[in-house]
Amino acid sequence: MRAFFCATEARADKLTRWLVTAPPVLFLVVFFVLPALIMAAASLREPGPFGGLAPLAAQGLTLDAYRFVGEDPIYAWILAKSLLVAGLTTLLCLLLAYPLALLISLSPRRRRDFMVLLVILPFASNFLIRIYAWIMILGPLDLLYRSGAVVLGLVYVHLPFMILPLYTNLEKHDPALLEAAQDLGAGAWTRFRRVTWPLSLPGVLSGSALVFIPVLGMFAVPELLGGTGDILIGNLIKEQFLDNRDWPLGATLSLALTAAVLGVAALSAAAARRRRRP
């Protein structure tokens, strides 16, 4: 009798777990796994004469796109440069956003909401218009069409995505912890290094992910603010699909980008794990 109840209980438990996990799993399958598979399939096809893909029956499968990417070092170089630019953008965003998020979280509660509103206010106008505004600022200063302008634009666009998760994290910190640290002999810098910073790492990580990953795929900012030498992997992929009409090559580059992002994510997860158990 008892075993029977235990069995039904276990089954109910399993059902609940399924009901809870099914929606996100379904979401990931439909919006991530399936598109990635379609991309993978497209990367193995021949390009169609006017864009798209050549009929499968006529041309069959080929590794041409991979061979092409592998043979020309320019692709690896642009991917590496994109990772570098994304990393630099993330770092600059972090350096700018951290003090600001800290300032907001330490402000009186009434003023905080207003400050957060100011952070997200730029979203009220169109992203392209804001980039064009930068062209008007940078143009007369003769700073346009350089790598610096690209990084500036990328930092400008993505700064709120760093500030918001950092603020959400910092705002939850218990002020008693800083008081305890001070009481036990920690000066201002040590309090930041030993208490605030380690406790804010989840916010740093999610903010970095929210900046790093979109920047890797970004093509509008380099196209508008950068010079000919400033194209990133995002521009390259866009070109294959819209200008060169070589979908298989675009799909291959896109897969390489996905692999790079997953690789960085795996590295940072491993770093986080190692830090937890020194």
Partner 1 sequence: MALLELRNITRRFGKLEAVSNVTLDIAAGEFFTLLGPSGCGKTTILRMIAGFDAPDAGSIALDGRPLAGIAPEKRPVHTVFQSYALFPHLTVAGNIAFPLEMAGRTRDEIRRRVGDTLALVHLEDKGDAYPHELSGGQKQRVALARGLVNRPRLLLLDEPLGALDAKLRERMQGELIALQREVGVTFVFVTHAQQEALALSHRIAVMNAGRIEQVDVPEVLYSAPRNRFVADFIGTINLVEVSVTATAPDRLELAAAGLGALTTAPVADAAPGTRGALALRPEHVRIGRAGAPATLKNRVEGTVAEYLFLGDVTVYKVRLADGSRFEALETNAGAGRAQFHAIGERVTLQWRHDAGVFLRD
Establish if 198 lies at the interface with partner 1 (CB under 8 A).
yes
8 CA to centre of own chain? 43
Give CA–CA dist 152/259, Å, rounded: 26
Buried/exposed 6-44: b ≥16 CB within 10 Å, e otherwise: eeeeeeeeeeeeeeeeeeeeeeeeeeeeeeeeebeebbb
Count interface residues toward partner 1 (CB under 8 A).
Answer: 17
User: What element of type H or E holds 225?
Assistant: helix 220-225
> Do 160 and 122 meet the contact criterion of CB atoms below 8 Å apart?
yes
Is 198 or 263 the residue whose CB approaches partner 1 more closely? 198
Is 14 or 275 the residue whose CB approaches partner 1 more closely? 275
Shortest Å distance, C-beta 190 to partner 1: 7
Is 135 or 178 the residue whose CB approaches partner 1 more closely? 178
Shortest Å distance, C-beta 191 to partner 1: 8
Shortest Å distance, C-beta 274 to partner 1: 15
Q: Which of residues 162-191 bind partner 1 (CB under 8 A)?
A: 174, 176-177, 179-187, 190
Is 36 or 269 the residue whose CB approaches partner 1 more closely? 269
Window of 89-97, 106-114, 155-163, 194-202 that interacts with partner 1 by CB under 8 A: 194-202
Shortest Å distance, C-beta 111 to partner 1: 21
C-alpha distance from residue 149 to each of 56, 221, 222, 255 (Å): 43, 9, 8, 28
C-alpha distance from residue 26 to each of 14, 22, 31, 32 (Å): 17, 6, 8, 10
The residues binding partner 1 (CB under 8 A) are 174, 176-177, 179-187, 190, 194-195, 198-199
